[in-house]
């Protein structure tokens, strides 16, 4: 089981599809909602049964990618992910910094997306 995000108008292969396990996507969503609430706000639901079909348009996706890159450059969001990893001893609940980078890559080339 997974959350699948599909690009509306992908500009390359990276923007066509982003997939995370059903237990991992809510963790990433919580992190980005915490650190980029304004950029995430156009999408009213990021996880759970009401998120399907929702997403961001192309401009909103790029805005979120820029914010996440800025936060990664400052180290704040990456530190939060590292802390989460250290606090979580459950092997089933895993979130990595690479997941964030993969998501940013998707955002930069998806042309907007919807959650499926």
Domain residue extents for the chain: 2-115
* pLDDT at 78 (0 to 100): 84
At 91 the pLDDT is 58
Residue 30, class by beta-carbon neighbours within 10 Å (0-12 exposed, 13-18 middle, 19+ buried)? middle
Give the pLDDT score at 24.
Answer: 87
3-state secondary structure of 75: coil
pLDDT digits (tens, 9 = 90+) for 76-112: 888 888 777 777 655 556 788 889 999 999 999 999 9
| Residue 80, pLDDT score | 82
Is residue 11 scored above 80 in pLDDT? yes
- Look at residue 21 and tell me whether its pLDDT is greater than 70: yes
| 8 in Cβ contact with 113 (< 8 Å) | yes
Q: Is the pLDDT of residue 1 over 90?
A: no
Cβ–Cβ < 8 Å for 1, 22 = yes
Using one digit for the tens of pLDDT, what is the confidence trace for 27-51? Answer: 899 999 999 999 999 999 999 889 9
**Edge-to-edge, what's the strand order for the sheet holding 55-57?**
17-21, 2-7, 112-115, 55-57
Contacts 24+ apart (CB under 8 A), 40-49: 40/64, 43/115, 46/115, 47/3
């Amino acid at each position: 089981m997974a959350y699948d995000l599909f690009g509306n108008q992908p500009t390359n292969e990276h923007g066509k599809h982003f997939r995370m396990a059903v237990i991992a996507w809510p963790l990433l969503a919580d992190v980005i909602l915490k650190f980029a609430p304004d950029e995430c706000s156009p999408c009213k639901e990021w996880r759970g049964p009401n998120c399907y079909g929702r997403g961001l348009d192309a401009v909103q996706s790029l805005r979120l990618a820029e914010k996440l890159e800025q936060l990664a450059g400052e180290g704040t969001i990456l530190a939060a992910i590292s802390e989460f990893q250290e606090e979580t001893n459950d092997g089933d609940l895993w979130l990595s910094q690479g997941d964030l980078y993969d998501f940013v890559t998707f955002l930069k080339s998806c042309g907007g997306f919807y959650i499926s």
